[in-house]
Structure 1
Amino acid sequence: MKNTLNIKAINFNIKWKDKTANFLKIESILKHETADLFLLPEMFSTGFCMDAEEIADKNNETLNWLKKLANEKKAAICGSVSIQENEQYFNRMYFVKPDGEFEFYDKRHLFSYSGEDKVYTKGEIRKIVNFKGFRILLQVCYDLRFPVFARNRNDFDLILYVANWPESRISAWETLLKARAIENQSFVFGLNRIGTDGKNLVYPESSYCFDAEGKVISTLSSEIVSAELDLNQLQNFREKFPFLKDGDDFEINF
């Protein structure tokens, strides 16, 4: 029995601090698109911004929009946003299913170089979502640099990384995505934004999906990066090369 997951990722030029414009842009891009899962970049509604008091969702406005869009598209939608909860701010990655049910992951590794750790509160929970037979690990941008946190303990088949990763460090982004796929014998889909943000940082086209061998299996068409993942193919590869069972045991506190 074929077990596949069709993913379409939107790597668009996020309009700085303008939720309405970004919602309309995404709706326009997705108007005629179909998929099992639509993926959106890190802080897709505002750009990667430290002005949390100004931009953070306080009334679930982005979550409600995601639920509405997921219902209309009959697909899951995933991406991260700035939110306020109990007087704290989080860089929160939502995974919203077509029926409106959702799960979330709060970014654990906050980018101290930009002061993210001074504004946002780090997450404490490693999150794996089950969807259409795939076990999916949710990760945000800077998490990519920390392989122990993402180590596959035979508990996931796909890692989703959403990011605002600038041109000056893009080689690291591309290299680490491929490494995470190979070392975890997993699919890895890394979605980066494009364009220029409100701080004049430039983001080149750099979104990819890798298979467990480190091969790019995604294709680019305009602002859509697409990939179809075959779970049976992944399981066959793992059975042929059972490298994960030889890995080290880690005691991780999170």
Structure 2
Amino acid sequence: MKITGLNLDIVWKNKTENFQRIEKELQHQEADLFLLPEMFSTGFCMDAPEVSDRHLESLEFLRKMAKEKNAAFCGSAPVEDNGRFYNRMYFVHPDSQVDFYNKRHLFSFSGEDQVYSPGKERVVVDYKGFRILLQVCYDLRFPVFSRNNDDYDAILYVANWPEKRVRAWEHLLKARAIENLAFVFGLNRIGTDGNSLFYQESSHCFFADGTELSEKKNNLVTAKLHLEELKEFRNHFRFLNDRDSFSIE
């Protein structure tokens, strides 16, 4: 499976401009799955009543792109649902089927927990033979929630992770791959947001042994994931058999 992530310089609170940028960047690209950053349509914004989708704007854009590209599209957006706001990660299949995950670990340092509601369920998506765990940004710091119970092959992390703390982002992505014997693709944004936070290019895809798999050109990050290679690695190194059990409430 070929995954292409877009290191997007997100325009603050401007969905139309961000949709146009994404279309332009990806117009000549082909992949099985395209990955977009956290809150790709607005930036990581706490003005939820102002920026949140009320008419599925971001989802409809992803559906449009998935149909045009005959590929899956994945990214998160602020959404209002039944009077609550969520940082919602969509996974849109080529046939317009939609899976979604509401971010569980809200970034209290920025006040996200005061504005958005947390998700409660882990979500694993089946696509092209891969079982894919959906995760958003701050989730990366909490390994119990992403512990592999032999129920996934790859993790997708979408993020707005500032340059000030980027070393933690990069180290933790590799750690999640190694400890869970899984592919991990972490896509971060680039540029400067409306809070004057700078984001450097720091997207990566790691194999289960911590090997970097991604290739980078311009604003694109691409990796090819081979499921048989992962299965062979897991069959040889059966470390997951010795894992601890956790109960998540």
SS at 1:188 equivalent: strand
The residue aligned with 1:79 is 75
The residue aligned with 1:98 is 94
The residue aligned with 2:19 is 23
Provide Cα deviations, 1:149-176, integer angstroms capped at 9, x if missing partner: 0000000000000000001100100000
Return the alpha-carbon distance in structure 2 between the equivalents of residues 249 and 198 of structure 1.
41
Return the alpha-carbon distance in structure 2 between the equivalents of residues 115 and 147 of structure 1.
22
The residue aligned with 1:237 is 233
Return the alpha-carbon distance in structure 1 between the equivalents of residues 53 and 193 of structure 2.
20
The residue aligned with 2:204 is 208
The residue aligned with 2:137 is 141
The offset of 1:12, in angstroms, is 1.3
The offset of 1:80, in angstroms, is 0.1
SS at 1:182 equivalent: helix
Residue of structure 1 aligned with 2:49, choices 41, 50, 53: 53
SS at 2:90 equivalent: strand
The offset of 1:247, in angstroms, is 0.6
- 5+ residue gaps in structure 2? none
2:65 aligned with 1:65, yes or no? no
Provide Cα deviations, 1:109-129, integer angstroms capped at 9, x if missing partner: 000000000000000110000
> Could you tell me which amino acid in structure 2 is paired with residue 80 of structure 1?
S
Aligned residues: 249
Return the alpha-carbon distance in structure 2 between the equivalents of residues 252 and 110 of structure 1.
16
Residue of structure 1 aligned with 2:116, choices 113, 120, 130: 120
The offset of 1:250, in angstroms, is 1.1
Provide Cα deviations, 1:70-121, integer angstroms capped at 9, x if missing partner: 0000000000000001110000000000110010000000000000000000
> Could you tell me which amino acid in structure 2 is paired with residue 173 of structure 1?
W
The offset of 1:25, in angstroms, is 0.2
Residue of structure 1 aligned with 2:184, choices 178, 185, 188: 188
SS at 1:251 equivalent: coil
The offset of 1:66, in angstroms, is 0.8
- 5+ residue gaps in structure 1? none
> Could you tell me which amino acid in structure 1 is paired with residue 149 of structure 2?
R
Return the alpha-carbon distance in structure 1 between the equivalents of residues 246 and 11 of structure 2.
41
The residue aligned with 1:163 is 159
Residue of structure 2 aligned with 1:221, choices 203, 212, 217: 217
SS at 2:184 equivalent: strand
The residue aligned with 2:6 is 10
Return the alpha-carbon distance in structure 1 between the equivalents of residues 10 and 58 of structure 2.
15
> Could you tell me which amino acid in structure 1 is paired with residue 174 of structure 2?
K
Return the alpha-carbon distance in structure 1 between the equivalents of residues 64 and 201 of structure 2.
28
Give TM-score, length-normalised by structure 1.
0.98
Return the alpha-carbon distance in structure 2 between the equivalents of residues 66 and 170 of structure 1.
28
> Could you tell me which amino acid in structure 2 is paired with residue 87 of structure 1?
G
The residue aligned with 1:176 is 172
Deviates more, 1:60-69 or 1:145-154: 60-69
Return the alpha-carbon distance in structure 1 between the equivalents of residues 62 and 228 of structure 2.
30
Return the alpha-carbon distance in structure 1 between the equivalents of residues 105 and 213 of structure 2.
27
The residue aligned with 2:242 is 246
Return the alpha-carbon distance in structure 2 between the equivalents of residues 197 and 251 of structure 1.
37
Identity among equivalent positions (%) equals 61
Give TM-score, length-normalised by structure 2.
0.99
The offset of 1:57, in angstroms, is 0.1
